[in-house]
Amino acid sequence: MNYIMDHNKQKGNIWKIFKDFRFWILLYFFLRLIGITNPPLEITHNWRESIGTMVARNFLEIDANILYPRLDFNGNKEGIVGMEFPIYNYLIFLWSKIFGYSHFAGRFINLVVSSLGIFYFFRIIRIYINQKTAFFSGIILLNSVWFYYSRKIIPETFAASLVIIGLYFGLKYFYKNGNIFSFGLFTLLATLGVLSKISAICLLGVCIIPFLDKKVNRRKKITMVFGGFILSSLVGWWYFYWNPYLTETYAFSHFFMGVPITQAISDLVDNLGLFFKRFYDTALKYIGFFSFLFGLFWCFYKKEKLLIYIYISVSIFLLPIILKTGYNFAFHEYYIIPFVPVMALMAGYGLSSIPRKKVSVIILFFIALEGIINQQHQFLIKSEMAKLELLETKLDDWGTRGDLVAINCGYYPTPLYMAHRKGWITSNNHLKSKDYLLRLKGEGCRFFIILKKSFGTEVEQLPMEKVYSDEHFTIYNNSFLE
C-alpha cells in the first residue's frame, strides 16, 4: 500500500514539473544551445546575421560609438550606415570586450532575451486571462517561428521580447498598483525594443486597452502619454532624422525605409499567396494556424472582450508596417515575428477552450512536433558553406586584415564577413570586365576572390596572378598578367 502511495506521489511530482512553464522554458533553452557557436552560415537569412555581426565586430575593432554603425561592403569608404538602433549589436560588442569575440555571443544574448520575453508573455496572460491559456499560448510560441529565430544573430525576437517585458511592467503600473519604477521600466524597454526593430511597435497596440479603460485613473493615462512621447521622439529621431543623415553624409544607402503605400498595396496584391503564407505557414505552421483560427472564432463567439481588444489593437498597429514594407513583408519571413505572440495567444485560448483536456494536449503535441521538424534543419550548416570559414586564414597567409578584397557573392555579404576584410561584394559579370578590375585595383582592392560553390560560381581565369585555389574558391592578387 505504501509502495502504491509513493509511486502515485512520484507520478504526481513528475506531472507537476511538466505543468510548470519554467520547465519548458529551460528545456527549449538548452535544446536551442545545439550549434550555438556556429558562424552565420545556416540556410536562412545568413546575410542578415552577417550584417549584424559586422556591426558588432566593427564596434570592437574600429570605433565603439553606438551612433555610427559600420558595415564592411562599402569598398574603400568608412562603411558608416543608417540601420536599426544597434543596441543588440552593442551588447555583442560589450560581451566581446570581456570574453573575446565569438559567434556564441550574438546567439546566446538573443536566446536569453527571447526566452525571458516568452516567459513574461506567459506571465502577462496568466495574470490577466488565466493559467491554462497562458500555458498553451507559451508552448505554442516556443514552437513557432520564434523557436529558431530566437537563436539567430538578428534583432527580431530580441526587440519583440524587450517590448513584451516592458508591457509586463507597464500593465503592472496600470492595473497592479505598480510604482513609477514599473512605468520607467516599461518606457525604457519598450523604447529599446522599438528602436531595435520598428516593427515591434505593433505589440504596443495593447496599450490602447488601459488608455480606454475607465478603471485606470487619469493621472496614469497622462503618464502613459508622456511615456509614448518619449518613445516616439527617440524612435522618430533615430529612424527619420539620424538614419537619413548617416545615409546622406557617408553616401552609403543600405537600410530599407519602406515604399509608398500605393506601391506597397500593388506589390501585396501581386503577391497575395506569399503574403498569406507568412500567417498560415511561417508563423505557427499549419496545425498552429488552424488552432489560431479556431481560437479567434471562439473568442468572438464567446464575446471575450479582452482577447478581442488585444487582437484588434495589435492588428491595427501592424497594418502601417505592412503598408510601408509591402513586398518585403510578404517575401521576408521575419516581418511576421512581432505579431506571432498574438497569434499564439489566440491559438492557446482555442486549445484551452476544448472541453476534453486530452484532445487539447494531443493537438499541442502535434503543434510542437510540426514546429520543431520544420525548423530543425536550420541548426545545421552545409559542408559547402562551412568551407567559407577557411577564407580568413587563407587570406592571412597572403596578406593582412587591412587588405581590401572583392568577392563574387552577389548581394550577399556573408563571404566578405567570413573573410574578415572590407571591400566589395560583386558579380561574375563585373569581374569579367578588365576595366572593372582596374577600377577596383585603383580604389585599393588587393585580392579578388572567386567562390565556386556557395554564393558564387566559377568564372574563367582572371587576367591576374592566382595565389591560391581549391574546389571551393580561388584567390587572385591584383597583379595583372602580361
Interval 164-185: pLDDT, tens: 999 999 999 999 887 889 999 9
Of 53, 235, 73, 100, nearest to 162 by C-alpha is 235
Paired strand residues for 119: none
Q: What sections of 43-102 are H helices per DSSP?
A: 46-61, 87-99
What local confidence, expressed as pLDDT, does residue 17 receive? 85
- Using the Cα atoms of residue 156, residue 161, residue 166 and residue 170 in order, give the sign of their dihedral: positive
What local confidence, expressed as pLDDT, does residue 123 receive? 97
H or E element that contains 465: strand 464-469
Neighbours of 392 (CB within 10 A): 14
In whole angstroms, what is the distance from residue 164 CA to residue 206 CA? 10
In whole angstroms, what is the distance from residue 144 CA to residue 141 CA? 5
What local confidence, expressed as pLDDT, does residue 380 receive? 85
What local confidence, expressed as pLDDT, does residue 179 receive? 86
Residues of the chain where predicted confidence (pLDDT) is lower than 50? none
What local confidence, expressed as pLDDT, does residue 34 receive? 93
Pairing of strands 473-480, 422-425: unpaired
Q: Which three-class secondary structure state does DSSP give residue 468? A: strand
What local confidence, expressed as pLDDT, does residue 176 receive? 86
In whole angstroms, what is the distance from residue 319 CA to residue 305 CA? 21
In whole angstroms, what is the distance from residue 297 CA to residue 290 CA? 11
In whole angstroms, what is the distance from residue 74 CA to residue 83 CA? 15
Neighbours of 186 (CB within 10 A): 28
What local confidence, expressed as pLDDT, does residue 3 receive? 53
Q: Copy the grid coordinates of residue 456.
A: 558564387
H or E element that contains 392: helix 390-398
What local confidence, expressed as pLDDT, does residue 59 receive? 98
What local confidence, expressed as pLDDT, does residue 12 receive? 62
